[in-house]
Structure 1
Amino acid sequence: MRKAWIVTLAAIVLVAAALTGVVLWQNSYDLREQRVTVPADGRLLEGVLATPAHGSGPFPLVVFVHGDGEVDATHDGFYRPYWEAFARAGYASLSLDKPADWLSRSMDDRARETTDTLVWARTRPGIDGNRIGLWGASQAGWVLPKVVARTPAPGVAFVIAVGTAVNWHRQGEYHLRSELRAEGAGPDRVAAALRAREATLALLRRGATYEEYRATADADPDLGAERWTFIGLNHTADASADLRAMPPVPVLLLSGADDLNVDGAETEAVYRELLAPGTLTVHRYPGAGHALVRTPVERSSWRLPLTALFAPRALFPPGLLADQRTFLEERKRGDGARSIPGR
């Protein structure tokens, strides 16, 4: 009995050691990271500067602009596969912790924060100040065009836009309809939800207080006062004017075919209409959702954390990291954009 117990314990130890080795191996990345402090929009923000594993630069740089929510510089490690792909293309990546008071910030505030980050990055000896571009996801779609349109020479060298929308209200309605459709909602429920949405928009348009909102029959009990303030600051966001004002820089637009949050087809159509001819490259990934994570993984309560832990690079659909690496390598060579309707 004692011998069997010892054998079992030894087997458990070996399995645990093997799993630990897999986690360490899968979460080791071919790059160097350093913590940095960046003065941005009147505050000091902590962040991470990731550079290629070899060489001293100066490296071209990708500055990350977060989507919605409370996000640290690494996005809980989610960004590291991107940083590694970019490092292998010869690029550094810079990402900052989102300010603790992010719910009090407008899209203009976030644009100023990003612009100040660009100014800081150009002071770094290991960074090529003439080749700095932006990577932004989701809500960053209302930030990226502002920064590109307003940044003086040498300006922004390129943009990678991931799951971005154009108009806040249209995006909200699309999201609502997508969720209702996924839940199998009938016509009456859809109509009621759209009426409730219009009533909320009417409150926002007249600047109603949070207390007024909570007094309505359709108020979301999970929506807090700070979130209401954030929505009030930003619900009129529309990227059209800033997209139209952008200089002709290469733009890579990425979206998932299973995105329930953003209508990728609409974003592509608007980008094609408003951006300078020949500047847009488009990839749309089947089997991927809003975060450009593979749909079966993203929508599974157990597959998502396990994949993130044991195989983080496998979170993404085939080609996603390689397509971005190719885009960046083309920028180094000075190649033009390619417009690809879909994949």
Structure 2
Amino acid sequence: MIVLLGTGVVVTLIGNDYRMRERRLSVPVAGGSLDAVLTLPPRDPARGLVVMVHGDGPVEATHDGLYRPWFEAAADAGFATLSWSKPGIGGSTGDWLSQSMADRAAEAGAVIDHVRGQPDVPAGPVVLWGASQAGWVLPKLAATRDDIKAVVAVGPAINWLRQGRYNLLAELDHDGADAAERERVIAVSERTRRLLDDHADYDTYLAGSGDPEPMSAARWRFVTRNYTADATADLHAMAGRHLPVLLMLGRHDRNVDTEETRATYRRILGDRVTVTRFDSMHSLARPVMEESDVVGLATAVLWPRALLAGGVLDTYREYLRKLA
């Protein structure tokens, strides 16, 4: 038992030993501050900066360690990475559920403005990296700033409502729901949509949706702020910047219609988009990592790099290396 325990500790230490330096920052913003992490190449000065924009949920700066393989890949390519805990998470003040997508873009812009010129923060190109919900944030930011040189978009959606319906139907298919269950769940979704269009308050939503697992009041307010989000207009605005975009999509994504995303990005941004697909889920994790809680948790603890599908980190690393 002692030998096995010792082996597990060694594996965990090796699996979580990264080729980079990491330090904490506190970034002042209106009304408080954001707890941030800056990672750097292990020895040489960084030549560029990746700014991470999270997806949905209460995400901490390192995503509880799951972002560190991405940080390391960027460091291998000579890039620093900046990421921060969402408002109200970890040491960050505020409440992320009070934000619109425009608020999120403004927050990211304020963070970039503050850190430029700080010790160890490179003056070279800024690359935006964003996952999932960040698809409604990245184009807003990229369209309005002259210091953004490239965008890496991981599983972004185009339209909030279409994305929600796609996810709903994909999960029903995955779970093998029968006709009666599909009809019930879709009816709840339709009622919720009508309540959103009617600008219903939370009590009206609770009384009228029929949802057996209703949203919290804070989540309902967040959705009412953002359910009309659509990236199309911001992508058109971003097109004028002629920025290169790496679009990273999972072949088994049940959250986002990746074909709609691919087609929209290609139609608006043309050949500036490099489309890559992986044998992965929405997060670019290998399918087994999400289908098996035991396998996913063990891998996250012992060897987080192995969560991601083959080729994900190599593709990201090489893309950054080729940026001027």
Do they superpose with TM above 0.5?
yes
How many residues are aligned here?
A: 316
Indicate if the aligned counterparts of 1:140 and 1:164 stay in contact, CA closer than 8 A: yes
Deviations 1:88-114 (A, max 9, x none): 000000000111111111111100000
- Opposite residue 326 of structure 1, the aligned amino acid is E
Structure 1 stretch 126-135 or stretch 232-241: which is displaced more?
Answer: 126-135
Report what 2:272 is aligned to: 279
| Paired AA for residue 124 in structure 1 | Q
1:239 aligns with 2:231: yes
CA distance in 1, matches of 2:214, 2:185: 16
> Counterparts of 2:124 and 2:11 in 1: how far apart (Å)?
39
- Give the gaps of 5 or more residues in structure 2: 89-94
Deviations 1:137-178 (A, max 9, x none): 111111000001122x2x211111111101000000000000
Which residue number in structure 1 is paired with residue 92 of structure 2?
none
Compute the displacement of 1:41 (Å).
4.6
SS at match of 1:293: coil
Query: Identity percentage over the alignment?
Result: 44
In 1: Cα distance, 2:78 partner to 2:24 partner: 20
Whether the 8 Å CA contact 2:49–2:124 is kept in 1: the answer is no
Query: Does structure 2 conserve the Cα–Cα contact (< 8 Å) formed by 1:41 and 1:113?
Result: no
What SS is found at the alignment partner of 2:122?
Answer: strand
Compute the RMSD of aligned alpha carbons: 1.4
Once the two structures are TM-superposed, the CA of residue 125 in structure 1 deviates from its matched residue by: 4.2
CA distance in 2, matches of 1:307, 1:224: 31
Q: Counterpart of 1:179?
A: 171
- What's the CA shift string for 1:187-221, capped at 9, x where partnerless? 44333332321211111112101100111252243
SS in structure 2 of the partner of residue 129 of structure 1:
coil
Deviation track 1:204-256 (CA, whole Å, cap 9, x = no partner) reads: 11210110011125224341101000000100000100000001111111111
- Aligned partner of 1:164 in structure 2 is 156
Query: Where in structure 1 do 4 or more consecutive aligned residues deviate above 6 Å?
Result: none
The worse-fitting range, judged by mean Cα deviation, of 214-223 and 230-239 is 214-223
Q: Distance in 2 between matches of 1:323 and 1:217?
A: 43
Structure label with greater radius of gyration: 1
Partner of 1:72: 60
Q: Normalized against structure 2, the TM-score is what?
A: 0.94
Q: Could you tell me which residue of structure 1 aligns to residue 19 of structure 2?
A: 30
Q: Is the Cα contact below 8 Å between 1:256 and 1:264 reproduced in 2?
A: yes
What is the identity, as a one-letter code, of the residue corresponding to 1:18?
Answer: T
Aligned counterpart, 2:4: 15
Report the Cα offset of residue 297 of structure 1. Answer: 1.4
Per-residue deviation, 1:131: 0.2
Distance 1:269 1:150 in 2: 23
Native 8 Å contact 2:80 2:122 kept in 1: no
